[in-house]
């Protein structure tokens, strides 16, 4: 793949940079020498592993790569993940520190100190053990964003059983597939939750999932969250308050092998059928803990961290359940949506708990931009000192808004690139070291070796776009796709020799900073020119009419592929449209001016919503299906499947401009 440089992020868009913030330079828990130490790859990770974790038995070999691409990290080491997240903080006299401030959607709140959380996890571990859960078993977790989700995950880890968390918004079919794939012994769920002010029901979905055919599940433990009347099977179902609340508070954590499976988690399904990614214990915890400290410049005694991701996604695994707790940090956990009961809910939570580090996704920022800056302006956000972004590229427009409106112009933003497969952050600026560039994930974290290569796997010079690859194994790397070693090799290790293929397009700018250009699958070829979906979307969102945009390449008889854009308008755009303006022509011209005539969309379809996964990512492959007149593919992980029907109908009705 060779993107043409002249149509990609060219000089007219030379980005504004923000030098490292003074207070971060002075007080950072690391300095630039960290980058040097990181170059001594294995030595750096060995040292880090002993620094950030408490090992029951020290490891004898840092990395065993002899059976590549199947890695083993910290060979011979033994540890317990839950002990590292909990008990050791209590033993060190920090039991009174708050671990979790929980905010329920209806307004209920709970606070767990490290001592409280340790006790609850011990009880849950005893309860699960009494139901037969042992090392090597799998437990399916189908819970809302409530503390019991974290408690369940850590209780499994404590017993050496792997959890498989299934996002609470998924259908019974999606749940059943994941239960079967992992051969789960136990399911932990809740009667229901709250969403947009309404009680929802979860337990019936578990019943429906288990109703068809034989399965491996022996028991279902049910948390009473909202009191919905749900069916109960006396033979297999147990209330959490009956089995966990009554269990013993004494439980000694057993140490397990560093490579003991910690969890299975499915990817978002943005590019195809979700993959069941396997992570193990030692390496995963090491890199999660280390990146958490550095990227967020953690001051564990004073910071209040809030990651808004659901535990059903990898961000919720790594940066809600594990890394903050392993570091002894204090965090906020919120159950509901940002607009319930009002559109200032998040900012009210930041104000209430004096949140100092906020980690969220670009899609949320763009939603807040659309709602207007007068909403966050009503709250005291002065406690914030650092902001993070994850999940997709953050377009410069959204970055600048986040920086100015939420961060008051004083908070650095760390744009973190990583994947379910990488387990922890891989690319990000460090707030005390790097000058920040809106829209770029910038640099590999210390100890990680990332490159941009051409289709032959040869490194590309700065300024040229190609494939993002990881050259050396990293501690939190996936250990495989559950039950499918061939798919693991084929998906990640067959495109290039001895390199991990991430599936994303990228390029380095003149300073060597990395810019993500979207999925390789989303790069289009228009009349022989390679165009990046991310850049065209970014140009569209830069126009005052547009709130969000999704761009795909659709087969075209004359140009090979044609650019097709789907846009959601802001008020200003809606008004222009209502006033009779040819908004599509305006936006086509805008892209032509920003990037070049070749990038002008053939069609611009105005749509009230874009198809997104439950984790907030745009499903471009479905838009491509529609644009090419195909049957719409798998929509299992879509937040609202009706969105696609609407878009397909609009497309058929010929709305969306002409060639
Ligand atoms: P699937 O692999 O099933 O298609 P997915 O790739 O969406 O799903 P995730 O692991 O949730 O599953 O997402 C990882 C992807 O998200 C990355 O490969 C990248 O495309 C995108 N991404 C994450 N963070 C960033 C970021 N900071 N900048 C750009 N892209 C990002
Ligand atoms: Mg992926």
User: What tokens were used for 593?
Assistant: 């001016």
Calculate the average pLDDT of the chain. 94
pLDDT(491) > 50: yes
What pLDDT sits at residue 252?
97
- Residues 617 and 394: their CA atoms lie apart, in Å, by 12
1, with CB counted inside 10 A (0-12, 13-18, 19+), is: middle
Evaluate the omega torsion of the peptide bond into residue 274 and state whether it is cis, within 30 degrees of 0.
Answer: no
Cβ distance 112 to 102 under 8 Å? yes
Which residue from 418, 427, 429, 440 has its CB within 8 A of the most atoms of ligand 1, so it is best to mutate?
Answer: 418
Instruction: Report CA(507)–ligand 2 centroid distance (Å).
Output: 18
Q: What ligand 1 atom has the least distance to the C-alpha of 420?
A: 10
Ligand index nearest the alpha carbon of residue 392: 1
- Per-residue pLDDT, averaged over 626-631, amounts to 90
- Per-residue pLDDT, averaged over 137-164, amounts to 98
- Per-residue pLDDT, averaged over 39-65, amounts to 98
Ligand index nearest the alpha carbon of residue 504: 1
Confidence of residue 5 (pLDDT cuts 50, 70, 90): very low
Q: What ligand 1 atom has the least distance to the C-alpha of 277?
A: 10
What pLDDT sits at residue 632?
87
Ligand 1 pocket, CB under 6 A: 267-272, 274-275, 314, 390-393, 415-417, 419-420, 441, 502-504, 516, 519, 617
What pLDDT sits at residue 14?
54
Instruction: Report CA(328)–ligand 2 centroid distance (Å).
Output: 30
Q: Which residues pair with 576 in a beta bridge?
A: none
Reported as a single tens digit per residue, the pLDDT across 191-244 is 999 989 999 999 999 999 999 899 999 999 999 999 999 999 999 999 999 999
Confidence of residue 464 (pLDDT cuts 50, 70, 90): very high
Q: Residue ranges of the alpha helices (H) in 195-256?
A: 203-211, 240-243
Q: Whose CA is nearest to atom 21 of ligand 1?
A: 392
Higher-scoring residue by pLDDT: 273, 485: 485
- Per-residue pLDDT, averaged over 138-154, amounts to 98
**Cβ-proximal residues to 497 (8 Å cutoff; 6+ apart), any chain:** 457
- Residues 659 and 558: their CA atoms lie apart, in Å, by 11
Q: Whose CA is nearest to atom 5 of ligand 1?
A: 268
pLDDT(11) > 50: no
Proportion of the chain above pLDDT 70, given as a percent: 97
Residue-wise DSSP of 150-200: HHHHHHHHHHTPEEEE--TTS-HHHHHHHHHHHT-SEEEEESEEEETTEEE
pLDDT(649) > 90: no
Lowest mean pLDDT: which of 299-313, 442-456, 619-633? 619-633
**Cβ-proximal residues to 566 (8 Å cutoff; 6+ apart), any chain:** 549, 550, 551, 552, 604, 605, 607, 610, 623, 647
pLDDT(269) > 70: yes
Q: Whose CA is nearest to atom 1 of ligand 1?
A: 269
Q: How many CB atoms lie within 10 A of CB 631?
A: 7
What pLDDT sits at residue 4?
37
- Per-residue pLDDT, averaged over 310-319, amounts to 97
Q: How many CB atoms lie within 10 A of CB 468?
A: 24
User: What tokens were used for 87?
Assistant: 């008990």
Q: What ligand 1 atom has the least distance to the C-alpha of 269?
A: 3
Cβ distance 349 to 120 under 8 Å? no
Query: Phi, psi (5° rounding) for residue 481?
Result: -100, 125
What pLDDT sits at residue 656?
54
Proportion of the chain above pLDDT 90, given as a percent: 84
Q: Kindly provide the b/e burial profile for residues 438-450, where b requires at least 16 CB atoms within 10 angstroms of the residue's own CB.
A: bbbbbbbbbbbbb
Evaluate the omega torsion of the peptide bond into residue 341 and state whether it is cis, within 30 degrees of 0.
Answer: yes
What pLDDT sits at residue 345?
98
- Residues 79 and 52: their CA atoms lie apart, in Å, by 12
- Residues 502 and 481: their CA atoms lie apart, in Å, by 15
Instruction: Report CA(475)–ligand 1 centroid distance (Å).
Output: 19
Reported as a single tens digit per residue, the pLDDT across 155-177 is 999 999 999 999 998 889 889 99
Confidence of residue 454 (pLDDT cuts 50, 70, 90): very high
Higher-scoring residue by pLDDT: 630, 436: 436
Which residue from 267, 452, 538, 615 has its CB within 8 A of the most atoms of ligand 1, so it is best to mutate?
Answer: 267
**Cβ-proximal residues to 323 (8 Å cutoff; 6+ apart), any chain:** 288, 289, 291, 292, 424
What pLDDT sits at residue 118?
98
Cβ distance 359 to 307 under 8 Å? yes
For tokens 């065993």, name the residue.
64
User: What tokens were used for 134?
Assistant: 């042992």
- pTM (2 decimals)? 0.93
- Per-residue pLDDT, averaged over 137-155, amounts to 98
What pLDDT sits at residue 3?
42
Cβ distance 538 to 551 under 8 Å? no
**Cβ-proximal residues to 402 (8 Å cutoff; 6+ apart), any chain:** 365, 387, 389, 394, 413
Ligand index nearest the alpha carbon of residue 537: 1
211, with CB counted inside 10 A (0-12, 13-18, 19+), is: exposed
pLDDT(2) > 70: no
Instruction: Report CA(513)–ligand 1 centroid distance (Å).
Output: 19
Q: What ligand 1 atom has the least distance to the C-alpha of 270?
A: 4
Reported as a single tens digit per residue, the pLDDT across 407-418 is 999 999 999 999
């Amino acid at each position: 793949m060779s993107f043409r440089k002249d149509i990609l992020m060219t000089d007219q868009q030379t980005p504004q940079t923000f030098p490292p913030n003074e207070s971060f330079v002075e007080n950072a828990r690391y300095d630039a020498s960290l980058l040097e130490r990181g170059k001594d790859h294995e030595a750096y990770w060995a040292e880090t592993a002993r620094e950030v974790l408490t090992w029951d038995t020290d490891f004898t070999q840092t990395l065993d790569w002899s059976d590549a691409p199947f890695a083993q990290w910290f060979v011979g080491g033994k540890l317990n993940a839950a002990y590292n997240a909990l008990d050791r903080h209590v033993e060190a006299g920090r039991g009174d520190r708050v671990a979790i401030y929980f905010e329920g959607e209806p307004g209920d709140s709970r606070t767990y100190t490290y001592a409280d959380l340790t006790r609850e996890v011990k009880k849950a571990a005893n309860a699960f053990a009494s139901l037969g859960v042992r090392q090597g078993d799998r437990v399916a977790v189908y819970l809302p964003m409530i503390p019991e989700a974290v408690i369940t995950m850590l209780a499994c880890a404590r017993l050496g059983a792997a959890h498989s968390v299934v996002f609470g918004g998924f259908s019974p079919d999606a749940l059943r597939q994941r239960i079967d794939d992992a051969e789960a012994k136990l399911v932990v769920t809740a009667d229901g939750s709250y969403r947009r002010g309404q009680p929802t029901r979860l337990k019936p979905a578990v019943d429906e999932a288990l109703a068809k055919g034989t399965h491996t599940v022996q028991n279902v433990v049910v948390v009473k969250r909202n009191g919905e009347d749900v069916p109960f099977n006396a033979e297999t179902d147990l209330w959490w308050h009956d089995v966990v609340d009554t269990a013993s508070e004494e439980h000694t954590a057993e140490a397990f092998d560093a490579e003991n499976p910690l969890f299975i988690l499915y990817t978002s399904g943005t590019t195809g059928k979700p993959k069941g990614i396997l992570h193990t214990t030692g390496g995963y915890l090491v890199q999660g803990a280390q990146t958490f400290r550095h990227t967020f410049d953690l001051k564990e005694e004073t910071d209040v961290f809030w990651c808004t991701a659901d535990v059903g996604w990898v961000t919720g695994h790594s940066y809600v359940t594990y890394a903050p707790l392993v570091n002894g940090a204090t965090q906020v956990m919120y159950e509901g949506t940002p607009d319930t009961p009002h559109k200032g809910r998040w900012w009210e939570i930041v104000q209430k708990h004096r949140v100092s580090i906020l980690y969220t996704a670009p899609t949320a920022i763009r939603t807040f931009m659309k709602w207007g800056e007068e909403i966050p302006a009503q709250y005291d956000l002065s406690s914030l000192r650092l902001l993070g972004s994850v999940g997709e590229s953050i377009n410069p427009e959204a970055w600048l808004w986040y920086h100015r409106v939420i961060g008051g112009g004083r908070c650095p933003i760390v744009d973190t690139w990583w994947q379910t497969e990488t387990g922890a952050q891989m690319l990000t600026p460090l707030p005390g070291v790097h000058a920040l560039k809106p829209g770029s994930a910038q640099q590999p974290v210390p100890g990680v070796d990332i490159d941009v290569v051409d289709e032959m796997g040869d490194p590309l010079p700065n300024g040229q776009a190609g494939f993002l690859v990881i050259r050396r194994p990293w501690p939190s790397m996936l250990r495989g796709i559950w039950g499918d070693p061939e798919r693991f090799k084929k998906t990640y290790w067959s495109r290039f020799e001895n390199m991990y293929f991430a599936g994303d397009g990228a390029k380095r700018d003149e300073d060597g900073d990395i810019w993500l250009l979207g999925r390789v699958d989303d790069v289009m070829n228009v009349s022989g020119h390679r165009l990046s979906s991310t850049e065209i979307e970014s140009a569209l969102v830069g126009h005052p009419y547009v709130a969000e945009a999704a761009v795909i390449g659709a087969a075209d008889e004359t140009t090979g592929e044609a650019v097709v854009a789907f846009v959601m308008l802001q008020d200003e755009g809606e008004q222009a449209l209502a006033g009779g303006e040819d908004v599509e022509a305006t936006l086509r011209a805008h892209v032509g001016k920003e990037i070049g005539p070749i990038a002008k969309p053939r069609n611009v379809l105005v749509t009230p919503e874009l198809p997104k996964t439950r984790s907030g990512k745009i499903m471009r492959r479905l838009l491509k299906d529609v644009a090419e007149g195909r049957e719409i593919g798998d929509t299992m992980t879509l937040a609202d499947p009706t969105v696609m029907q609407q878009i397909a109908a609009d497309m058929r009705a010929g709305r969306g401009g002409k060639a």
